[in-house]
Structure formats: C-alpha cells, structure tokens
Amino acid sequence: MKTKILITSIGSMVGQNILEVLDYQNFRRRDLFTVIGTNSIALSPNNFNCDNVYLVHNTNANHFKNQIYTIIKKEKPNLILSGRDEDTVVLSLLMEKHPELTGSLPYGKSQTLKNALYKWDSWKFCKKYNLPFASSYLLNSKLKEIELKIFVGQHGYPLIAKPNQGFASNGVFFIRSWKELLKAIKINNYILQEYLGDAKNLKEYFSTVDNLTPLFMHAPNVFFYSCHTMIYPDGKYTPIFILKNDGIWGGTICFNKVIDKELEHLTIKFVEAIANEGGYGPLTVQFRKDKNEKWKAQEINMRTNGNTFPRFLMGQDDIGLIFDALFPKLKIPIYKPDQATQKYIIHKQLSSKVIYPEHLNSLETNKYRDN
C-alpha cells in the first residue's frame, strides 16, 4: 500500500512546490505516494495533479473544520502538509482535539505555530528568548499616543504596517508620516514594525509615488535572507541552509545559496528556542540588516513554503527530511544532488496545464475527484 500525503490548499504556490519535489524527473518519488489534495477553488491546475482531490470551503469558514475532519477520517493519511499559513494552526488544533484521527503533522504544538504565524506573537516570543526581531508595535484602538510617538522616535520613518496574520507581501504598507500612521491605526489587526534596510535607498521610489502614479510600483532592494532547517522531534536539526531571495512585484524571482556563519549562529538560537517550546518541523527565519547593520528577523515560518522546490534543487530536501523525522522506518529516499549544482541561481517559472471541462464539472458537482 502506498504512503498517503494529504496537502491542504493544493492550489497554492506551496502546493505546487510540494508536487514539483515529488515529480522531479531526476529523482522521482511520486510513485511511492498517494497524493490527496483539498482546495477551495475548483479551477486550479494543481487539483488535477492529485490522485484524489476534495473541494472544500475557505479555511476560515465555519464548515471547513467539519469537512477536513471528514476527509482525514476517510482517507487516513500518513502525513498532512498545509499549503497556506492559516491551515497549519487549524489543522494542529483539530488533530490535538481529535487524537483518534490518523495522520502526522510536522509542526509540533499549535502554540509554536502561532508564534510563527501571528506577527505580534513572533515579537513576544523573540523578546522572551532574546532573539533579534524587527521591533514591533500592536496597532489597536486602545493604544496610547505617547507610546506610539516614542516608537516612531526610536525608529524613524519609514515604518512598515502589516497584517498581524498575513502572508507574502499582501496588505503590507510603508508608513512615511504621522498622517499615514493615523490611517493605519484604523485598520483592524495590524502591527507596526521598524523598517529593516537602508531607508535612503527608498528616496527615489517614494518621490515617484508622490508625483505621477505609475501603473506598477516596485520598491528597490527588495531582498532578504531565508535561513532554513528541519527540526526533529528530539530537538536535533539539519544543517542551516541559507538563501538570498531577490524579489520584484512582491514575489521572489531569484535564489542564490550563500554561506554566512553569523546568520547560521542566529538561526540556531531560533531552533533552540522553538524546540524548547515543543516545536519541530520545517523552520525558515527571514533576516535583513537594520539601519545599524545588525541582523534582525522579519518573519518566522514553520512549514513547507514557496522556497521548498528551489531548496530541493540546491540540496535540501524538505519532504525527504520530514519523512526521515516522522517515519524513519519507511526509509523514503532523500535527494542529494551533485555538489556542483548547489550554488546555482534558481528562477521561478510559469507552467501551463490543460484542464478538461468534464473534470472541472465533476469536481464542482461531486466535491471531489477520484482518479
């Protein structure tokens, strides 16, 4: 019998990364698994790359928990992977509430996931363990103006306003004045963060925004360093894998493997703190330097993500390592490429797939497709 993997939000970029890892022709492992997907959008190419796929409500909908419970109970997956950040906490809480369900999540406890998913929790977690993280301030109706002015005085403009629970660059704004800050306060569940990087590089960009409005806007020097590892349930971890991520229009387009002992040392501190809290699984910490040239984290991620396939090509096999951590007896092979390929720059590309109308209609009407 094949090993079963359930992937929620299979239509996401993360879902695509997982499928590409399993389907990679030079190290194909797809035949070892039955892949089960869930998605809220029927018209998604990734749906039709699964062996079974279920059409479900959005993660935050009331019916989602009952739907995913029924799917897990029926399919009895070995491993459950989430395609979106918000799926991780929902799945973790569901599995903790229903120990009778089969399937393992590579995410540790639900609280460790919240420390990564919710930006304000990330800040408090890092303060607790004295970890370098972008200084943050929770925006709400109860905030005191004097405290806010102190925060602005400490860090200056620009500042960053972002959703407390967000992903990629969606809903993230530059704050360049007190007037803009007062507008941001009115947005529900946002946090304020110091800007990591050299604000002087943004001067020309801001002048463009203040004059004629361009059709598209792209801030310069959009890059960060992602430090990734796999934490095993016993607290051990794989070598720290560091990528420089260069982006445009809110997304990463280029990856380059780098070696940096300081970043490696800082990431190990995050690993130790998370393991101390009972967390394990894939961990990515995003770093940039602040205005004083000090490394600080701007985000913590604890699942497979949009860099999973590029890292795989460069030598770190998340999926293989997850199975090694949770199911060592299955002896799922781990990809180890030629050393010469590990520093290549990897570009994301767009691929197309034909979807037949009858298959789409079947998914929409029957709520699942079984090949």
CATH of 135-195, one of 3.30.1490.20, 3.40.50.10490, 1.10.3470.10, 3.40.50.300: 3.30.1490.20
% pLDDT > 90, the chain: 53
- What is the enclosing helix (H) or strand (E) of 314? helix 308-314
State the distance between the two ends of the chain, measured CA to CA, in whole angstroms: 16
SS3 19: helix
Q: Can you state the angle between helices 110-117 and 119-128, rounded to 10 degrees?
A: 110
Has residue 53 got a pLDDT over 50? yes
SS3 162: strand
Give the pLDDT of residue 168. Answer: 56
The CATH number of 114-118+221-347 is: 3.30.470.20
Between 369 and 117, where is the model more confident?
117
What is the phi/psi pair of residue 357, to 5°? -55, -40
Find the mean pLDDT for residues 316-328: 95
Give the pLDDT of residue 362. Answer: 81
pTM exceeding 0.85: yes
Give the pLDDT of residue 22. Answer: 96
* 368 — pLDDT class (breaks 50, 70, 90): low
Give the pLDDT of residue 351. Answer: 62
Q: Return the ∠ at Cα 11 (arms to 50 and 243), rounded to 5°.
A: 105
pLDDT digits (tens, 9 = 90+) for 176-215: 888 888 888 877 788 899 999 888 887 877 777 776 666 5
User: For the chain, which residues make up each domain, given as ranges?
Assistant: 3-105+351-370, 114-118+221-347, 135-195
Q: Which CATH class is domain 3-105+351-370?
A: alpha beta
Q: Which of 119-133, 215-229, 246-260, 345-359 has the lowest mean pLDDT?
A: 345-359
Has residue 77 got a pLDDT over 90? yes
Peptide bond into 214 cis (omega under 30): no
Give the pLDDT of residue 350. Answer: 57
Q: Is 135-195 the same fold as 114-118+221-347?
A: no
22 class by beta-carbon count within 10 Å (0-12 exposed, 13-18 middle, 19+ buried): buried
SS3 64: helix
Q: Return the ∠ at Cα 11 (arms to 82 and 43), rounded to 5°.
A: 150
DSSP classification of residue 221: S
Give the pLDDT of residue 371. Answer: 46
Calculate the alpha carbon distances from 324 to 106, 265, 327 in Å.
11, 24, 6
